Amino acid sequence: MKTLIVYAHPEPKSLNGSLKDLAVSTLTKAGHEVRVSDLYAMRWKATVDAADYGPSASSPLRVPKDSGRAFETGTLTPDVRAEQEKLLWADTIIFQFPLWWYTMPAILKGWVDRVFTYRFAYGVGEHSAVKYGERFGEGTLAGRRALLSVTVGGPESHYAERGINGPIDDLLFPIQHGILYYPGIEVLPPFVLYGTDRTTGDDWPDIAKAWEQRLLTLETTEPIPFRRQNFGDYEIPSLNLKEGLEPAGRSGFRLHVRA
């Protein structure tokens, strides 16, 4: 595998840092190529502005169009081009981050905002009355697989079906479906550690074992079976799921996962 690890934690000695280090050593030892984008260490600029698009920036700024023009003319900033190149190089992408306010840290969201530009990650393919682009199962990043490795402060019960925070699959849906599956990446079931603020050094051996096991079985792990946009499950152009495809009683985000 050619694995890109996108890592978002400010402290190298954090639990997240240890998980990232273990991923690098485990995958390297198993003969895989590994590259790391350590966003805090890189001092990643997390906000979009006109400077991102150089001569392609219009006034007033139009982020989708300007980012697409900059992508197509090769005038995106070198930091963004480097991350796009890493994504095209990789066949596997691991995102390592703590759950902050129910989602990824802002620096990682800012990586997505700047790297997943128009014409690269969205605005790809024919947009007409019969086709709404190549996305959700197709797109620039098709053929790649991604895994979220997330540490969570609260206990697992808080993220269960009836838990106060809502099911973890629902919280991760905007990332797994809205960001990763959108440009065509297949998404593997996440590796989630709960109750991490109470984790101690004694817990580390079990955590490490479970993480190594996931890392060494990445190639054979089945992705989440999200429904593909352009292969018959959705009405076009409304992009509503066709009636009756879902198992009885299913609703919400899970409608978009095949039975």
Q: Which residues bind ligand FAD (CB under 6 A)?
A: 9, 14-16, 18, 98-102, 151-154, 196-197, 199-201, 203-204
Least distance (Å) between residue 128 CB and ligand FAD: 40
**Short-list 204, 229, 51, CA closest to 137:** 229
d(CA 15, CA 103): 17
Element at 20 (helix H, strand E) = helix 15-29
Least distance (Å) between residue 140 CB and ligand FAD: 31
By C-beta, is 53 or 97 nearer to ligand FAD?
Answer: 97
Residues facing residue 2 across a β-bridge: 33
Paired tokens of 173: 């849906």
By C-beta, is 19 or 93 nearer to ligand FAD?
Answer: 19
**Short-list 78, 44, 82, 76, CA closest to 63:** 76
By C-beta, is 11 or 243 nearer to ligand FAD?
Answer: 11
Residue type, 18: S
d(CA 83, CA 60): 26
Paired tokens of 60: 């007033």
Least distance (Å) between residue 164 CB and ligand FAD: 11
Task: Confirm if 112 and 179 have CB atoms less than 8 A apart.
Answer: yes
Least distance (Å) between residue 148 CB and ligand FAD: 13
Return phi, psi of residue 151, to 5°.
Answer: -100, 140
Least distance (Å) between residue 95 CB and ligand FAD: 13
By C-beta, is 40 or 142 nearer to ligand FAD?
Answer: 40
By C-beta, is 8 or 80 nearer to ligand FAD?
Answer: 8
By C-beta, is 18 or 75 nearer to ligand FAD?
Answer: 18
Residues facing residue 35 across a β-bridge: 4
Q: Which residue is nearest to ligand FAD (CB)?
A: 153
Least distance (Å) between residue 216 CB and ligand FAD: 19
d(CA 191, CA 210): 9
Least distance (Å) between residue 107 CB and ligand FAD: 12
Other CB atoms within a 10 A radius of the CB of residue 206 amount to: 9
By C-beta, is 76 or 99 nearer to ligand FAD?
Answer: 99
d(CA 119, CA 77): 16
**Short-list 170, 181, 179, CA closest to 225:** 181
